[in-house]
Amino acid sequence: MARLTAAAVLAIIAAAPFLPMGGMRQYALHVLVQIFIWSFIGGAWSLMGRFGLISLGHGAFLGAGAYTTTLLWNFWGLTPWLGVLVAVAGAVVIGLVLGYPCFRFRVVGHYFALVTLAVGEVVRLLVIAERDWTGGSLGVTLKASAGEASLAAIQFADKRVFYYASVVVWLGGLWVWRRVDRSMARSALEAIGEDETAAASVGIHVTRFKLAITVLSAALTAVGGVLYAQYFTYVNPDTLSGIGVSLRIVFAVVLGGMYSLLGPTVGSALTIALSEYLRVLFGLKFIGMAETIYGLVLILCIIFLPAGIYGSLRAAIARRMARRRAAPA
Amino acid sequence: MLELRGVTAGYGQFTALWGVSLRVSAGEAVAVVGPNGAGKTTLMRVISGLVSPREGDLTFEGQSLARLPAHEIVAHGIAHVPEGRRIFPMLTVADNLKMGAFLRSARRGYRDSLERVYTLFPALAERQKQRAGSLSGGEQQMLAIGRALMSRPKIILLDEPSMGLAPVMVLRLFDLIRRVREEGYTILVVEQNVRQILKLVDRAYLLEVGRIKMEGRADELSEQDFVRKAYVGL
Ligand SMILES: Nc1ncnc2c1ncn2[C@@H]1O[C@H](COP(=O)(O)OP(=O)(O)OP(=O)(O)O)[C@@H](O)[C@H]1O
Ligand SMILES: [Mg+2]
């Protein structure tokens, strides 16, 4: 049953670019690509978040990823295929520099969140300060490659290419999430999330597990940043690092539910759809209105659905199924 | 089996243990007693690698333990039941026990260990699927001890197992600890219930403001005037 549903959903996703959508096709594809990219990034974030490692600075990894490939391409013409390796390495280094001291000296909970918040801001300020390279707060445009489409430069005029690319990356993210979910590391990290001293006392190498999941999350987030940069061909410090984007990632995941495979996807899809809808509805009339409503919806969700929309829905369905199974007996 | 020689340790500038020497032989049960703030918990944390000693020697079966991190010390066969029942409250009883066998060496004998723990603590067997946080205080302490046994240790360190338990529960718990002992485990236990613990162990150390003030066989120690007045309350 679940397999069948999954197959059907995948078939729809695969066929989406060819469905009749009138003049809406380009716009719809654009929104969908964003949903897949942000879902992937949200999933990467939730790898840490679900174990109580709340990062409010994932913009650091995102920005590091996006800027690394963009600048390497613009200045040295290095293909993003190699650039992404450098980008991931960069994000991993940031993750280690952030994580090692925090985990070694037991910086946990709110304090950890604050440290990550600062790291995200530092990356944003660095990008702004290094304006000769990075274009400062105006951002930088990815230099166009020759021709309509270039595989080496990962630039394609046809949105469908990015659509499928983002789907593949998103599926890869889900696969990693599943792998972690079914591993021994999951139990270890859950134990650590509950009580670090107790975890250490049963032989869990607390620092190593926390660092490993941080590095994994950072690396995937950087990949998301690279994909974002290649798709938009424009990066700027406010949309890719700093507090704003970091919180957006957190909100989306919390909304959808960080403990379930598809929670981050549902959350990202809802937040993107909601902000698109509000943007179209209010246009430029009430600047800030969209954000306000968006914020309110979030607060309500956090209070009433702590497991997230998708997480709560799944739990409710599971309960009903259990009751139905129990009833005829 | 376990030997500390002149161990000095503390937190930052603060020194909680001053040149402490202590020995536990295989098969023995040894208690450390002393007033609040004496450094008993710190002593346990030094042995289990949660606090590293500043000076002194720490050996287990002839191997030095000083500066090994906590997870490697467990692998050597030392299981620490920390103060205050640090179980994993959101996990079920069964999952808590499973975590106790996290180490590869412990995972091999998992079924066997589990059976032993459930035989020792039938109350846990009945509550396998229950969330650990919903157990009573005494059951949580049993779980903490059971979880330690799951790592197939050679020695277990118990830090104030009776803390916060009702008097009846304390008696039952001490009974259970006696049974754990009879299973052949070596035990080092910290307690404030001096009178009762002295009935259970072979030897005891008296720790005061970070220094060993007295040591001896449990029966002799409980006869000493000083201990009787200060701790046993007779
Ligand atoms: N994490 C810590 N940081 C700084 N000082 C600490 C820390 N833990 C304990 N101490 C100090 O070390 C000294 C010894 O504490 P310890 O917990 O070892 O005592 P204890 O004998 O276990 O006391 P109790 O019977 O109350 O459990 C105390 O003065 C305490 O204030
Ligand atoms: Mg103590």
B99, B148, B150 ranked by CB distance to A191: nearest: B99
Residues 6 or more apart whose Cβ sits within 8 Å of residue A277: none
B25 Cα to the center of ligand 2, angstroms: 23
Predicted model pTM: 0.85
Domain boundary among B128, B153, B178: B153
User: pLDDT value at position A290?
Assistant: 67
Is the domain of B205 the same as that of B172? yes
Q: What is the pLDDT of residue B128?
A: 93
Q: Which of B98, B131, B153 is the last residue of a domain?
A: B153
Q: Is residue A243 predicted with pLDDT exceeding 90?
A: no
pLDDT tens per residue across span A139-174: 999 988 877 778 888 888 888 999 999 999 999 999
Q: Are B116 and B201 in a shared domain?
A: no
Residue B197 in any domain: the answer is yes
Joined tokens for residue A110: 């709110």
Q: How far is A190 from chain B (nearest CA, A)?
A: 9
**Among the partner residues B82, B95, B98, nearest to A201 by beta-carbon distance:** B82
pLDDT band for A329, please (50, 70, 90 cuts).
very low
The pair of three-digit structure tokens given for residue A233, joined into one six-digit string: 């061909």
Taking each helix axis as running N to C, give the angle between helix A25-49 and helix A243-256, from 0 to 180 degrees, rounded to the nearest 10: 90
Q: Are residues B123 and B133 in the same domain?
A: yes
Tell me if B82 is assigned to some domain: no
Q: Ligand 1, residue B34: give the atom nearest the CA.
A: 21
Backbone region of residue B84 per phi and psi (left: phi > 0; alpha: psi in -120 to 50; beta: other values): left
CATH code given to domain A25-326: 1.10.3470
Residues 6+ apart with CB under 8 A from A238: A124, A137, A244, A245
Total number of domains in chain B: 2
pLDDT in tens, chain B (234 residues): 999 999 999 998 999 999 999 999 999 999 999 888 999 999 999 999 999 999 999 999 999 998 888 889 999 999 999 998 789 998 999 999 999 999 888 888 899 999 999 999 999 999 999 999 999 999 999 999 999 999 999 999 999 999 888 888 899 899 999 999 998 899 999 998 888 888 899 999 999 999 998 898 988 887 776 666 666 555
Q: What is the pLDDT of residue A45?
A: 97
Give the pLDDT confidence score for residue A238 in this predicted structure: 87
Q: Which of B96, B127, B153 finishes a domain?
A: B153
Question: How many C-beta atoms surround the C-beta of residue B76 within 10 A?
Answer: 16
Asked if residues A243 and A122 have their Cβ atoms less than 8 Å apart, the reply is no
Mean per-residue pLDDT, A47-70: 95
B150 → chain A, closest CA residue:
A202
Residue from B140, B179, B181 nearest B161 by CA: B140
pLDDT, residue B231, reads 64
Say if residue B213 is in the same domain as residue B110. Answer: no
Query: Residues A218, A36: contact at Cβ < 8 Å?
Result: no
User: Are residues B6 and B62 both part of a single domain?
Assistant: yes
Nearest to B96 by CA among B59, B124, B71: B124
pLDDT value, residue A327: 67
Contact partners, residue B179, CB within 8 Å, separation at least 6: B120
Long-range contacts of B115-122 (CB under 8 A, 24+ apart): B116/B149, B116/B183, B117/B146, B117/B149, B117/B150, B120/B146, B120/B149, B120/B176, B120/B179, B120/B180, B120/B183, B121/B145, B121/B146, B121/B176
Please compute, for residue B208, the number of CA atoms within 13 A of its CA located in the half-sphere on the CB side: 8
Q: B59 - beta bridge partners? A: B3, B64
| Domain boundaries of chain A, sorted by first residue | 25-326
Ligand 1 closest atom vs CA B163: 27
Convert the pLDDT of each residue in A177-210 to its tens digit: 999 999 989 999 999 998 888 898 888 999 999 9
Dihedral of CA atoms A143, A149, A150, A156 in degrees, nearest 10, equals: 70
Provide mean pLDDT across the span A27-51.
95
Residues of A in contact with B71 (CB under 8 A): 200, 203-206
* A69: number of Cβ within 10 Å: 30
The verdict on B55 and B158 lying in the same domain is yes
DSSP A152: T
Predicted confidence (pLDDT) per residue in A280-300, tens digit: 877 766 666 766 777 787 778
Q: Which ligand is nearest to the CA of B40?
A: 1
Touching check for A117 and chain B: CB below 8 Å? Answer: no
**Atom nearest to B210 CA in ligand 1:** 14
B146 in the same domain as B97: yes
On average, the pLDDT of chain A sits at: 89
Digit-coded pLDDT (tens) for A5-24: 989 999 999 888 888 877 78
B47 shares a domain with B158: yes
Residue B40 has a CB neighbour count (10 Å cut-off) of: 26
Q: For tokens 């929670």, name the residue.
A: A263
- Domain encompassing residue B200: 2-77+154-232
Q: Which of B48, B80, B102 sits opposite A188 (nearest CB)?
A: B102
Q: Are residues B56 and B91 in the same domain?
A: no
Flag whether the ipTM exceeds 0.85: no
Same domain, B130 and B216: no
Give me the CATH number covering residue B51: 3.40.50.300
Q: Write out the two tokens for B45.
A: 């944390």
Residues 6+ apart with CB under 8 A from B190: B31, B32, B33, B40, B41, B43, B44, B83, B157, B158, B159, B160
* Residues contacting residue A299 through CB under 8 Å, at least 6 positions apart: none
Residues B133 and B35 in one domain: no
Residue A3 to residue B187: CA distance in whole angstroms: 52
Whether B68 is covered by a domain: the verdict is yes
Half-sphere exposure of A83 (CA within 13 A, CB side): 25
Which residue shows structure tokens 């049963």? A202
